[in-house]
Amino acid sequence: MPIIKTASMKIESVVVFCGSKTGRSPLYIQHAAELGKLIALLNLRMVYGGGKAGLMGAIANSVLTHGGKVMGVIPKILTEWEHQHEGLTELFVVPDMHTRKKMMYEMCDAAIVMPGGFGTLDELFEMLTWNQLKIHDKKIYVLNTEGFYNHLRLHLQHLKKEGFLYESLEERIIFCETPVEIFNKIG
């Protein structure tokens, strides 16, 4: 099984945080499809929120179409909103959002953040906070499709400039413009 290697760890599983909506730009869906294909071709296991709608469904479908493995983790309350994906390799229905996030973090070696809304930002910031607190040391790759995260990137730089961060941003979060760039930086 091919494994992407970094200086300190082997990447066998990635968590993908993304929207349960597709957003306005067609490039969001295109990048979801490309990212899913790369995850499958590299024989990585994808972990995500378990939904079948929006970018969540698009990336899961792409991984599955290309023969990859997809593990979904969805809280019971969201099975009606996000409509869990029925065709996954494995689906875990958990009691709440906290259990969902903890389980997804434990199942991955690195995180990829695509465009999304409040839930995506919540997952990103919780993972960044856990990194800062040394609860884990998993790298976070942000897919900045069409500059979606430019404002966030500027705000993170402002946090650094104003002295509110404990370490360099580059230690934990890596911004990429394309799916291929993510895997070039991982590997």
Q: Where are the domains of the chain?
A: 13-184
CB atoms within 10 A of CB 8: 7
Give the predicted TM-score (pTM) of the model: 0.92
Assign domain 13-184 to a CATH class.
alpha beta
Residue matched to tokens 């690195």:
110
Under 8 Å CB-to-CB from 103, ≥6 apart: which residues? 73, 92, 94
Residue stretches of the chain with pLDDT short of 50: 1-8
pLDDT at 187: 67
DSSP class of residue 45 equals E
Give per-residue pLDDT as tens, 42-94. 999 999 999 999 999 999 999 999 999 999 999 998 887 768 899 999 999 99
